[in-house]
Structure formats: structure tokens, C-alpha cells
Amino acid sequence: MNTEKVVFAFFIVLALTLNFGFFLGEMTNPEHHNVYELFFATAVSLIATVMKFGDRTHMGAILLATSLVADLQLIIAAVIWGWAVHVSDVGMDGAAIASIVSLSGGALLANLLSAVLLSIETVMIRR
């Protein structure tokens, strides 16, 4: 068993599951979406991105692109959260949390695509 591949797959799947956990819940209810879960989803996604930099294959480039998309959307979601809580006079309202959850949904799709591509790559190596 290749330990490097196990750790690589672990972070890809962990990024997907943390993002999914944050995404679940009523879209406009801030109580259904934990800021710490968004933080950990972003942090693990960034770690997964760094791990993808070493792969020089075409599939590696696509995996890196999906990870960069997820990172960008999660970082923007975190910025909106910070703005709504610490800068905005309105605070965390339904519109702000809906934007945050929508962005995490886009990151979720990118992470899902990354996991599917990893599975396809694994099946191709086996044959």
C-alpha cells in the first residue's frame, strides 16, 4: 500500500465531507451552518490543494483546478461571513448566510468532481 496515496485520498475525501457537513441545513438559517465547520472545510481544502501541486500529469492538473475552485469559493464564503459579522451593520442575516451556503455548494461540487476523478484515476491504474 502506498502511504502517500492514502494520505492524498484522505484529504480529498475529508475536504468533501467537511464541505458537505457545512452545506447541509436550511439555507437562510445561520444556526444550521457552523463557522468552525466552514473554517475546517477551508483549511483541509487548502491542504488538499498543496498536496496536488506535485502531480505533473494531465489528471493532476484537472485535480488541482477543481481544488483551486473549491478553495476560492470557500475563501470568498469566509470573507462574506467575516464581513457580515464584524463589519456590516445588518449582521448575519438570511441573505448573507444564503450567499455563504451557495458558495460552499459550488465548492462542494468541485470537491465532488475531485473525488470522482480520483476514483476514475484509481480504476484506470488497476487495469
* Residue 12 pLDDT greater than 90, yes or no: yes
Amino acid at residue number 126: R
Contacts of 18 (CB under 8 A, 6+ apart): 37, 40, 41, 44
Contacts of 101 (CB under 8 A, 6+ apart): 22, 23, 25, 27, 33
Banded model confidence at residue 127, pLDDT cuts 50, 70, 90: low
Average pLDDT rounded to a whole number, residues 83-97: 93
Average pLDDT, the chain: 93
Q: Express each pLDDT in 96-126 by its tens digit.
A: 999 999 999 999 999 999 999 999 988 887 6
Domain boundaries, the chain: 3-126
Q: Express each pLDDT in 32-60 by its tens digit.
A: 999 999 999 999 999 999 998 877 889 88
For residues 4 and 61, give the distance between their C-alpha atoms in angstroms, rounded to a whole number.
18
pTM: 0.92
Q: What is the pLDDT of residue 55?
A: 79
Nearest 5°: CA angle at 23, between 10 and 76? 90
* Residue 26 pLDDT greater than 60, yes or no: yes
